[in-house]
Amino acid sequence: MSSPSNIGILALELYIPTTYISQSDLEHYDKESKGKYTIGLGQTEMSCIGDREDINSISATVLLQLLEKHNICPSQIGRIEIGTETIQDKSKSTKTYLMSYLQNSYNIEGVTSYNACYGGVQALFNTVAWMESSSWDGKLGIVIASDIAVYEKGPARPTGGVGAIGILIGPNAPLVLDSLRTSYMEHAYDFYKPIPSSEYPVVDGHFSVNCYLKAVSQCFEDLKRKTGAMTLDALGDYWCFHAPYHKMTIKAFFQIASDDLSSRLPHFDAKDKQSWGIVNEYLKPLWNEKCEKATRLGKRVGNIYCGSLFMSLKSLLAFEDIEEVCEN
Amino acid sequence: MSSPSNIGILALELYIPTTYISQSDLEHYDKESKGKYTIGLGQTEMSCIGDREDINSISATVLLQLLEKHNICPSQIGRIEIGTETIQDKSKSTKTYLMSYLQNSYNIEGVTSYNACYGGVQALFNTVAWMESSSWDGKLGIVIASDIAVYEKGPARPTGGVGAIGILIGPNAPLVLDSLRTSYMEHAYDFYKPIPSSEYPVVDGHFSVNCYLKAVSQCFEDLKRKTGAMTLDALGDYWCFHAPYHKMTIKAFFQIASDDLSSRLPHFDAKDKQSWGIVNEYLKPLWNEKCEKATRLGKRVGNIYCGSLFMSLKSLLAFEDIEEVCEN
């Protein structure tokens, strides 16, 4: 098999249920102060699933969307990998379930990748590596990142959401994946589901926020070092973040922006509001240029865990001039 | 990063608890006929876990065995992937938990791979592909395949077992992974855990046996086609099977042997006992030469799901002349 080049994203399909809750209605229903969810979390709506869909069906929906919209036969697919942390039962993989939609095609690798919201990203990395490997069979890869985020009554509930993303991976792609990357993984009891009979996670938002900001900060630091970029501005044309809720995205942006300014302006103090006032002129255009468009879908859908980062990419492609994104 | 060559298995560590049940004692306890488990399933003992270990701890055990026995620092590791279908809670990945043993090493990719007993094999394939990919960071990879197989009272119970395998992957390995392979995946309700509060799977052995034999048969057929091997005998020096129980391994061997004989001897009839008698002379040495040594550990430990195939490899290496295996 000859080595493929320019491996990346050929197509990106999104599925969100048509039902949703207005966050301002939810504030009212929960008897919370006006603006707690809409301004405090930055969310405007939240997608909701009914009882006739589950993680298997929404994953199948994006798989079939990819096959039908892009005229792909099952026999052209050599690998399907699902990133999810939503479990229909405690053993059967969503990947096996999806095989029932691929009649007569049995030689399809890939499993369900399972690691908090990171499963979808690892599924993407694995699929691209498979295509670069000596075992590639010349076929296309599909990555599905899907989750149903349900929280029990309380502070985490308004950040729930549901969505599935299907990504078609192949050579000569308009969106090529760069081989340069860095990761940060740490053990924390920020989010887990220790009660087997309950769908609800135990969430400690404090740990989640800290762990995520530490990861974002360290990864940008590593990327600056690896690329030799002297300023944050020089590092990429657009930035897509995982978006558990909109304000978290802003926090992540401010974290790396303040890291960047601290490293260049010795008197910059991230805790001093006046310092922020002075540099606001620098930060606002940077946010608008690199981040804002990628956050629009997430504000309306909520956290979809594994698919969240890819929904940000979908949002960027939907609201930015697509040709410009692909050329950059 | 220069391209690595001869990527494969540098080390293979096995962990099995010291506690076990004798299968003949279990026959007696279950008031079953003598030989039902020992002859019918071909199992002699079954490893048992206590209440002070779980999937995270046994996975950590083999991780630490690999690091300590082979003098590996966490900073030398670039990827850890766990193949398992044993869930401690419904969200937290065993991979994240293992990060707590790798102080100051945060840039470690890999997640938990989840797909019935196949998760460990996919974890191995993903890790080798990562090492062959343009994103490889020059570090070593670790694959852990571990499971605790518990069944409720009834026919499946004596095939349970527990075990964890840790595999160190790197270049210039004594056991190099060939890039030639083929897969068979099909959706079947043979094994699933639809009751969230229960550890026990629902098992339909009939579906499992059929699906597995179909897969083994199709994969050998594909491999014969891909390699141009005219007879089964020409296809590999040793064969390691997934081993839910010893008799299943024998069934798999007989399936491919009878496929092979049917394709070469037009009058061979797999259902005719006399035909088998005639070719027994051909089959018995083939089994002894290629399969038997790989099945010895599994007979004593039971089914360990994701690690089962790798325990067969460990068994082969333990009972066959290791240098001969590595040279072949």
User: Using one digit for the tens of pLDDT, what is the confidence trace for A145-159?
Assistant: 999 999 999 999 999
- What value does the mean pLDDT of chain B take? 93
Cβ distance A133 to B179 less than 8 Å, yes or no, reads yes
Please report the sign of the dihedral spanned by the C-alpha atoms of residue B31, residue B34, residue B38, residue B44.
positive
Q: Which of A13, A27, A81, A85 is catalytic?
A: A85
| CA B286 – CA B179 distance, rounded (Å) | 25
Residue type, position A278, single letter: I
> Catalytic pick from A242, A246, A292, A306?
A242
Q: Over range B42-57, report the average pLDDT.
A: 97
Q: Which residue of B has its CA nearest to A189?
A: B92
Residues of chain A neighbouring B195 (CB-CB closer than 8 A): 89
- Between CA A140 and CA A131 the distance in angstroms is 8
Residue spans of the domains in chain B: they are: 8-176, 191-327
**What is the bridge-based pairing of β-strands A20-22 and A45-47?**
antiparallel
Do residues A143 and A81 touch, judged by C-beta distance below 8 A? yes
Please name the member of A89, A115, A183 whose beta carbon is closest to the beta carbon of B112: A115
Q: Which of A27, A45, A117, A306 is catalytic?
A: A117
Question: Is residue A302 within 8 Å of residue A160, measured between CB atoms?
Answer: yes
Taking residues B201-227, what's their average pLDDT? 94
Residue B14: name the closest of B196, B165, B122 by CA.
Answer: B165
- The SS3 of residue B10 is strand
CB B115 within 8 A of CB A95: yes
Beta-strand (E) ranges in A172-288?
175-176, 191-192, 202-203
Q: Is the pLDDT reported for residue B95 higher than 80?
A: yes
């995270």: which residue's tokens? B56
CA-CA distance, A112 to A128, in Å (whole number)?
16
CB B297, CB B311: distance < 8 Å: yes
pLDDT, position A50? 93
Note the pLDDT of residue B328.
56
In 3D, which of B101, B303, B114, B7 has the Cα closest to residue A84? B114
Task: Write out chain A residues lying below 8 Å of B111, CB-based.
Answer: 113-115, 118-119, 122
Pair A105, B218: CB distance under 8 Å: no
In this complex, the residue of A89, A183, A215 whose CB is nearest that of residue B108 is A183
pLDDT value of position A264: 83
pLDDT value, residue B263: 85
Query: To the nearest whole angstrom, how far is the Cα of B273 from the nearest Cα of chain A?
Result: 32
- Contact list in A for residue B135 (CB cut-off 8 A) is 125, 128-129, 179-181
Eight-class DSSP state of B18: S
| A56, A104, A144, A163 from A100: Cα distances, Å | 11, 9, 16, 21
Q: Which residues of A touch B115 (CB under 8 A)?
A: 93, 95-96, 111-112
Rounded distance, CA B129 to CA B115, Å?
A: 19
Instruction: Give the closest of B179, B184, B187 to A107, CB-based.
Output: B184
Nearest to A42 by CA among A291, A313, A310: A291
For residue A113, list chain B residues with Cβ-Cβ distance below 8 A.
111-114
Q: Are B182 and B196 in contact (CB under 8 A)?
A: no
As annotated, the active-site residues of B are 85, 117, 242
Flag whether the ipTM exceeds 0.90: yes
Q: How far apart are CA B265 and CA B291, in angstroms?
A: 23
- Classify domain A8-176 at the CATH superfamily level: Thiolase/Chalcone synthase (3.40.47.10)
- Spell out the per-residue pLDDT of chain A, length 328, in tens: 678 999 999 999 999 999 999 999 999 999 999 999 999 999 999 999 999 999 999 999 999 999 999 999 999 999 999 999 998 888 999 999 999 999 889 999 999 999 999 999 999 999 999 999 999 999 999 999 999 999 999 999 999 999 999 999 999 999 999 999 999 999 999 999 999 889 899 999 899 999 999 999 999 999 999 999 988 888 899 999 999 999 999 999 999 988 888 888 877 777 777 777 767 777 889 999 999 999 999 999 999 999 999 999 999 999 997 777 666 5
The domain defined by B191-327 folds into: Peroxisomal Thiolase; Chain A, domain 1 (3.40.47)
pLDDT digits over B27-40, tens only? 999 999 999 999 99
Asked if A85's CB is within 8 angstroms of B87's CB, the reply is no
List of residues 6+ apart from B130 with CB closer than 8 A? A125, A126, A129, B78, B79, B109, B136, B141
The secondary structure element, H or E, covering residue A316 is: helix A308-319
d(CA B121, CA B102): 24
Establish whether A291 is a catalytic residue: no
Q: Which residue has tokens 């309950």?
A: A198
Domain A8-176 and domain A191-327 have a common topology: yes
- Most B CBs within 10 Å, among A2, A80, A135, to test the B interface: A135
d(CA A219, CA A216): 5
pLDDT at position A262 is: 86
What is the rounded average pLDDT of the residues B43-60?
Answer: 97
* Encoded amino acid at A266, one letter: P
Q: What is the pLDDT of residues B258-317, one digit of tens each?
A: 888 888 887 777 777 777 676 777 788 999 999 999 999 999 999 999 999 999 999 999
